Amino acid sequence: MRSDVAPMTPIRPPAPPVLDEDSLLTLYESTAARLHRYVARRVGADAAQDVVSEAFLVLWDQRAGQPFAADAARAWLYGVATNLLRRHVRSEERKLRAWSREHTARTDVADIGDQATAVADAALLAGPLTGWLADLRIEEREVLLLTAWAELAPAEIAVALDVPVATVRTRLHRARARLRTRIAETDTKGENHA
Amino acid sequence: MRDQSLDQLLDAALGHAVADEPTLSEVDVAKGKLELATALRIHRQAPKRRTPWLVAAAAVAVLSAGGLVLQTVDFTGNGPSSTATAAESLNRAADLAAGVSDQLLSPSQYRYVRSRYRGITLSWGTDEAYASGVLNEAWIPTDPRQEWMERQVDDGPTEWLPGHEGTGTPPGNGGRNGEFRARCGNFGYFSADTPDRCTHGGWNNPTPEFLAALPTDPKELYRRLVADGRNGDAGALTLVRDALTSGRIPAAQRALLYRALANAAGIQITDNRANLDGAEGMALGIRVGEDFQEIIINPADGAFIGWREVVAVDGVLSKGTVRQSSATTTGVADVLGTRPN
């Protein structure tokens, strides 16, 4: 018997995307500038160029041909970059302290507390704050800056750093608590950090 | 100033900090993409087999954990034990530790380290909090260059804290549970570019070489701890905690660490402090930020048996709440993955 209905072609679910050259290059286009900005804030623009390039090559080495999701890959890239940045810890701390010295205004910041959210005060505080970042333990600084500068969520940082999300939150909590204390001390003492 | 205002100010100031670095232009990105494409052609290779992407919890034993228990602790670090008394207790613990002989391992045996952690995870920016726990077991070969194994499972219920409930089921510990094997304990997914744990020792990864290079004079060791910990005596105690949690500190070196801590001014000694397993010991405590952190050691032999962190300042969690606690035991296993008898 003849049927007018065309035989149905079995529908297969699409194969999950894998990391190939095209997807890596597309990821570079969408992510490199943001990743570079984060790395440059930590170690300077020159070193950032190398770290970003190397991070993409490490991702390729480890994930080429593997299932690929752009969001997860972005978190991995920040993780790789963070690990690469550990080679630059001393120069990062020198940079942070130098920036702090250069940007700490020679004005009294005693009244920061009265205008807590004022943009001018935040800018004023950025100088000494940057020096305090250099005093944090590296594990705490990484989590704080991945949050503040890379704008990653704790769950993304957990993937990036390969630690439990609870660890991320603990480190973040400690880093913020230590910096809040420094700010409060500044407020109390009217300290001039110039 | 209220914490909320300080938080707002902190966030705003972080936004300004080092924000003047030059960024990549579109031309820079296009150039970088071309360079990457070229590099890939040179660099092309078959995908590598990957090690499991979970990392040893023993190496990052700072999982937020603990039950909601109120304690009577002096959080100031100026409690009943004077500095002189604390130093005496620490030196006594050191004498005990120094008198202990470590179990010797044959080349085919493994150091077995079992740690339980329980504690509270806070959701940043909300009042939500939940308690959860993990059990982590590690088998460390006599020769650390050989294969290590780690097994991690959830331990106890994951539950919202009363008064801090969120919606639905609490998120739990994340996806790091499982069984992992790797030489040198290099369990990390990014092991290709993280420092090799066999050759890069540290307080979290106290290799024999790292320990051998530490000062042997207690005062010098104390100065090293303060320098590395970056938070005065609190930082020193945190590093000692990290090292002891690894289960890899020989008795003689434990003794040295206790003698070093005897130089710290703010350490408070509390007897009969229970670890997460309920075993009691002598606690060495100090205020660390908004928490009071304690290392618990067995008063009979100076062995490390766990640590705790108790909230010292009222905030989302009330003062006196145990934020995290742990219990650690060690042994010798004959077979990888098999517990000691």
Instruction: Work out how many domains chain A is built from and give that number.
Output: 1
Please count the other Cβ atoms lying within 10 Å of the Cβ belonging to residue A13: 5
Name the A residues in 90-129 with CB < 8 Å from any B CB. Answer: 95-96, 99, 112-113, 116-117, 119, 121-123, 125-126, 129
Give the model's pLDDT for residue B19.
Answer: 86
By residue range, what is the domain housing residue A106?
Answer: 21-189
Mean pLDDT (chain B, rounded): 81
For A:164-193, CB contacts with B below 8 A are 164-167, 169-174, 176-181, 183-184, 187
Strands (DSSP E) contained in chain B are 110-122, 129-141, 147-154, 159-160, 178-183, 268-274, 280-288, 291-297, 304-311, 322-333
DSSP 8-state symbol, A111: G
Residues 124-163 of A with CB under 8 A from B: 125-126, 129-130, 133, 135-137, 144, 148-149, 154-155, 158, 162-163
With contact defined as beta carbons under 8 Å apart, do B13 and A186 qualify? no
Give the pLDDT score at B194: 61
Weakest mean pLDDT among A163-172, B21-30, B216-225: A163-172
B17 — contact with chain A (CB < 8 Å)? yes
Give B39-95 pLDDT, tens digit per residue. 777 655 433 322 222 222 222 222 233 333 333 345 544 454 555 578 888 888 888
Q: Are B239 and B250 in contact (CB under 8 A)?
A: no
A100 falls within a domain: yes
User: B17, A36: Cβ pair inside 8 Å?
Assistant: no
3-state secondary structure at position B281: strand
Interface of A with B in 24-63 (CB under 8 A): 24-25, 28-29, 32-33, 36-37, 40-42, 44-45, 48-49, 52-53, 56-58, 60-63
Quick check: B268 and B285 in contact, CB under 8 A? yes
Task: Tell me how crowded residue A69 is: count the other CB atoms within 10 A of its CB.
Answer: 12
Q: Which residues on B lie below 8 Å from A36 (Cβ)? A: 23-24
In a domain, A12, yes or no: no
Distance in angstroms (rounded) separating the CA atoms of residues A37 and A54: 15
pTM of the model: 0.64
Note whether residue A3 is domain-resident. no
Domain positions in chain B are 57-333
- Nearest residue in chain A measured CA to CA from B152: A164
What would the mean pLDDT of B184-195 be, rounded to a whole number?
63
What are B280-289's pLDDT values in tens digits?
Answer: 999 999 988 7
Residue A194 lies in a domain: no
Q: Is the ipTM of this complex over 0.85?
A: no
For the segment A67-91, the average pLDDT, to the nearest whole number, is: 84
- Mean pLDDT (whole number) for B148-168: 89
